[in-house]
């Protein structure tokens, strides 16, 4: 192939690459369908109040787990509790200022997650064996105020798909069901204690994508997809024996509760309903 022929083909390819997107943009703009993900503006319809609902899955981690046995000379026991997965759901009402910022107040519900694991150390250091945690089931409910910031929208670009960052703060109620410890070397190898609930501060940070899935002229509906890290504070079990034995631990099993959540949801502005 001659150099002139190569130059001609290169020029034709360059012209095609430059003209095709422009033609597609003009066509989509003329039809009112919005166009590509980030490249073409959509009708600004999200201003005002909205309702939101979402579901998802969570990966829970339980850190700094401890337990203080009944005996005055018994050491504090620390545990390595394994992670678990569970369900997630939330509903919220909020307001979109259509300037990059929106906010809402929502109820967050996390289903049962199981915590169990072996002892790893004591304070003061004491030779084992010591008790392991066989079962500790946790549920969480939280009310949180959340804010969302969409940088493209803040620049005046009302795209059909808007990336955003989010953060929230609120209060949570963590509940631990009856929990059980086991120690084959103990006179009572297995003991079960009552559960308990605890209220604590909670917060989350994360990011996501909001995509308008309704067509222009129709009732606006947005699909929200996000990842968030939640810190739900801590939870403590009770000390009252359930099965047998009169001795009570000086301090029940307690640990921190954190969750990484992937969720998908629907957001509907109310301004045009």
Residues in the chain, overall count: 273
Q: What pLDDT is recorded for position 204?
A: 98
CA-based max dimension of the chain: 97
Q: What pLDDT is recorded for position 42?
A: 54
Which residues, other chains included, contact 3 with Cβ-Cβ below 8 Å and sequence gap of 6+?
A: none
Domain 49-269 belongs in CATH node 2.60.40.2140 = no
Q: What pLDDT is recorded for position 157?
A: 86
Q: What pLDDT is recorded for position 17?
A: 36
Q: Are 50 and 212 in contact (CB under 8 A)?
A: no
Q: What pLDDT is recorded for position 43?
A: 59
Q: What pLDDT is recorded for position 185?
A: 86
For residues 125 and 259, give the distance between their C-alpha atoms in angstroms, rounded to a whole number.
31
Which residues, other chains included, contact 42 with Cβ-Cβ below 8 Å and sequence gap of 6+?
A: 34, 158, 159, 160, 212, 216
pLDDT tens track, the chain, 273 positions: 444 444 443 444 334 433 433 333 333 333 334 444 554 455 566 789 999 999 999 999 999 999 999 989 999 999 999 999 999 999 999 999 989 999 999 999 999 999 999 999 999 999 989 999 999 999 999 999 999 999 999 998 888 899 999 999 999 999 999 999 999 888 889 999 999 999 999 999 999 999 999 988 888 899 999 999 999 999 999 999 997 777 899 999 999 999 999 999 999 999 865
* Torsions phi, psi for 248 (to 5 deg): -115, 140
């Amino acid at each position: 192939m001659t150099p002139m022929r190569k130059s001609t083909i290169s020029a034709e390819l360059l012209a095609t690459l430059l003209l095709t997107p422009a033609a597609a943009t003009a066509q989509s703009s003329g039809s009112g369908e919005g166009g590509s993900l980030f490249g073409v503006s959509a009708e600004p319809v999200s201003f005002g109040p909205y309702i939101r609902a979402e579901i998802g899955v969570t990966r829970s981690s339980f850190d700094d787990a401890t337990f203080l046995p009944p005996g005055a000379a018994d050491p504090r026991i620390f545990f390595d509790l394994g992670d678990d997965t569970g369900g997630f759901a939330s509903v919220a009402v909020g307001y979109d200022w259509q300037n990059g910022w929106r906010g809402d107040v929502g109820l967050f519900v996390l289903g049962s997650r199981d915590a169990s694991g072996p002892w790893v150390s004591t304070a003061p250091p004491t030779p084992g064996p010591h008790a392991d945690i066989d079962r500790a089931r946790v549920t969480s409910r939280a009310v949180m105020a959340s804010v969302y910031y969409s940088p493209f929208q803040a620049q005046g670009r009302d795209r059909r798909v808007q990336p955003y960052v989010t953060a929230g703060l609120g209060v949570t109620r963590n509940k631990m069901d009856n929990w059980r410890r086991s120690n084959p070397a103990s006179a009572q190898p297995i003991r079960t204690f009552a559960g308990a609930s605890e209220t604590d501060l909670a917060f989350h940070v994360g990011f996501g994508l909001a995509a308008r899935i309704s067509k222009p002229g129709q009732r606006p509906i947005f699909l929200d997809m996000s990842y968030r890290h939640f810190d739900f504070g801590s939870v403590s079990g009770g000390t009252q024996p359930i099965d047998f034995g009169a001795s009570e631990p000086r301090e029940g099993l307690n640990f921190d509760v954190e969750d990484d959540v992937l969720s998908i949801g629907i957001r509907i502005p109310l301004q045009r309903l």
